[in-house]
Amino acid sequence: MAENFFRKVSRLTSKVTNGVLLIVIGGMHNQFALSSDGFQNQFAEFAKTNFFKISNGLDDLPLVEGVSRSDLFAAFWFFYFGLLLIPIGLLVHSIEIQKRPLPLSFTLSYLLVVGLGCYMVPNSGMTFIMLPHAVYMLIRNILRARSLKIQGLS
């Protein structure tokens, strides 16, 4: 019975690529950013200008004696990070559906960036969602690369 369960889980995980997981994480990020628990008020403010010039850029930095609106910066970057995960997920997915391993430099740098995020903001989705995914992606990628090497396909 347990063997049958693990076989089904294995079949399911072979269909869900890391790219799909990245796209889902990006979508969840954006959904939260637009929610009332996230940055809904800031996005309402962005909408007043039709999302054009939502910040004065460098002029808003304290370095040039601007008035920093950290809530607007946080809202923008939180949403934008979610958007960036989507094309990265599409790229990762396109590599994985060809049964090719991801470059080790990508999976290691992704783990490093996620690890830094976990260190800086430990009580966040970076720790609870992205860190397990980064470790899973690295392990799965190493196993795929080994399998291809054993088969003589790399």
**More reliable by pLDDT, 76 or 102:** 102
Residue 117 contacts residue 130 (beta carbons within 8 Å) = yes
Q: How many CB atoms lie within 10 A of CB 133?
A: 17
Please return the burial class of 84, using the count of CB atoms within 10 Å of its CB with bins 0-12, 13-18 and 19+: middle
Report the alpha-carbon angle 57-58-63, nearest 5.
145
Pick the more confident residue, 73 or 26.
26
Average predicted confidence (pLDDT) for the chain? 84
Summarize pLDDT for 79-95 with one digit per residue, the tens: 999 999 999 999 999 99
Inform me whether the pLDDT recorded for 135 exceeds 90.
yes
Are 33 and 78 spatial neighbours (Cβ–Cβ below 8 Å)? yes
Q: 101 pLDDT exceeds 70?
A: yes
Please state, as a whole number, how many other Cβ atoms lie within 10 Å of the Cβ of residue 145: 17
Phi (first) and psi of residue 34, to 5 degrees? -90, -5
- In this model, does residue 25 exceed pLDDT 60? yes
